[in-house]
């Protein structure tokens, strides 16, 4: 049996890029209307507009960083803001030229362009994963040309879990988690954040931190560590359990 993650399993990734794309269009129209009505736009107004833009783009990244346990979601949106706003201010003298509108709307155009590219990349990335269930082992292949492979012998599997949240049930997909004697499927890496502060007679300090932390016994689904986002996951789980029962010469009971 050969399986691939469905497009529905990557809905969250696609949704965030669609959000950035349409937010960029709305921001461009809003900025254009405001500038047309008030040609002498003050610097403070532009700064406030950029601050609002950064909040609307960075907050979803922070949310996804905690939800997906991947710090890159936050870093990606931050870097795009730095790039777009950096272009806007560095080439500010070129705004009145023929193609000055590109510089004027650079903070928004960067997000729009990258979002379109990202949607194509996400789907291409999804297609690189393949799961093969056979007698004797389960094979996880990923990477272009399937250059990376992970082979899990059935004799090493200690449990098979079904990972489905409400959205996954709604779209008819799920993750089949293979727990092995070596610990695969029992933990993953996450992110943490918080605020630290301290005071004394001579100094007061405060800071905000975010980084990686190992979380034992908390599984975070990833296409590389489970049979990710497949259609009819219950049937897939039952197939693996039948193979396990056959491997151990035991009767299968669902």
Residue 68 lies in a domain: yes
Question: DSSP labels for the chain?
Answer: -EE---GGGGHHHHHHHHHHHHHHHHHHHHHHHHHHH-SS--HHHHHHHHHHHHHHHHHHHHHHHHHHT-THHHHHHHHHHHHHHHHHHHTGGGTTSTTHHHHHTHHHHHHHHHHHHHHHHHHHHHHT-EEEEETTEEEEEESGGG-EEEEEEGGGEEEEEEE--HHHHHHTEEEEEEEETT-TTSEEEEEEEEEEEEE-SS-EEEEEEEEEEEEET-----TTTSEEEEESHHHHHHHHHHHHHHHTT-----
Please report the pLDDT score of residue 195 as a whole number: 38
Rg of the Cα trace of the chain? 24
Please report the pLDDT score of residue 250 as a whole number: 62
Whether residues 104 and 17 fall in one domain: yes
Domain boundary at 81, 106, 126, which? 126
Whether residues 8 and 85 fall in one domain: yes
Residue 140 lies in a domain: no
Please report the pLDDT score of residue 94 as a whole number: 79
pTM of the model: 0.71
Residue 59 lies in a domain: yes
| 10-residue mean pLDDT series, the chain (254 residues) | 88 88 89 62 72 87 76 82 86 80 87 92 90 89 82 87 84 87 57 40 41 50 84 90 81 57
Please report the pLDDT score of residue 13 as a whole number: 81
Sign of the alpha-carbon torsion through 187, 188, 191, 197: positive
Whether residues 37 and 112 fall in one domain: yes
Please report the pLDDT score of residue 33 as a whole number: 67
Residue 141 lies in a domain: no
Whether residues 233 and 188 fall in one domain: yes
Residue 132 lies in a domain: no
Whether residues 41 and 111 fall in one domain: yes
Residue 99 lies in a domain: yes
Whether residues 177 and 222 fall in one domain: yes
Between CA 14 and CA 16, with CA 15 as vertex, the angle to 5 degrees is 95
Residue 145 lies in a domain: no
What lies within 8 Å, CB to CB, of 206 at 6+ separation is 195, 196, 197, 198
Number of domains within the chain: 2
Whether residues 106 and 221 fall in one domain: no
Please report the pLDDT score of residue 210 as a whole number: 42
Residue 185 lies in a domain: yes
Q: Which domain holds residue 15?
A: 2-126
Whether residues 121 and 159 fall in one domain: no
Whether residues 27 and 78 fall in one domain: yes
């Amino acid at each position: 049996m050969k399986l691939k993650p469905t497009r529905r399993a990557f809905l969250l990734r696609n949704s965030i890029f669609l959000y950035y794309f349409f937010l960029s269009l709305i921001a461009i129209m809003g900025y254009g209307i405001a500038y047309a009505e008030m040609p002498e736009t003050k610097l403070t107004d532009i700064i406030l507009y950029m601050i609002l833009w950064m909040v609307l783009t960075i907050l979803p990244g922070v949310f996804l960083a905690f939800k997906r346990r991947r710090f890159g979601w936050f870093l990606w949106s931050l870097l795009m803001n730095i790039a777009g706003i950096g272009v806007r201010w560095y080439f500010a003298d070129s705004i009145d030229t023929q193609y000055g509108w590109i510089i004027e709307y650079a903070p928004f155009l960067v997000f729009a362009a990258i979002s379109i590219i990202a949607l194509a990349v996400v789907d291409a990335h999804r297609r690189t994963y393949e799961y093969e269930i056979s007698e004797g082992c389960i094979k996880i292949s990923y990477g272009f040309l399937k250059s990376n492979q992970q082979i899990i012998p059935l004799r090493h599997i200690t449990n098979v879990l079904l990972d489905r949240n409400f959205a996954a049930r709604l779209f008819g997909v799920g993750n089949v988690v293979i727990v092995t004697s070596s610990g695969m499927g029992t933990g993953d890496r996450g992110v943490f954040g918080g605020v630290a502060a301290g005071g004394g007679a001579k100094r007061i300090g405060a800071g905000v931190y975010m980084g990686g932390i190992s979380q034992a016994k908390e599984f975070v689904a990833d296409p590389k560590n489970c049979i990710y986002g497949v259609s009819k996951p219950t049937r897939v789980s039952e197939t693996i359990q039948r193979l396990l029962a056959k491997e151990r010469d035991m009767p299968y009971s669902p």
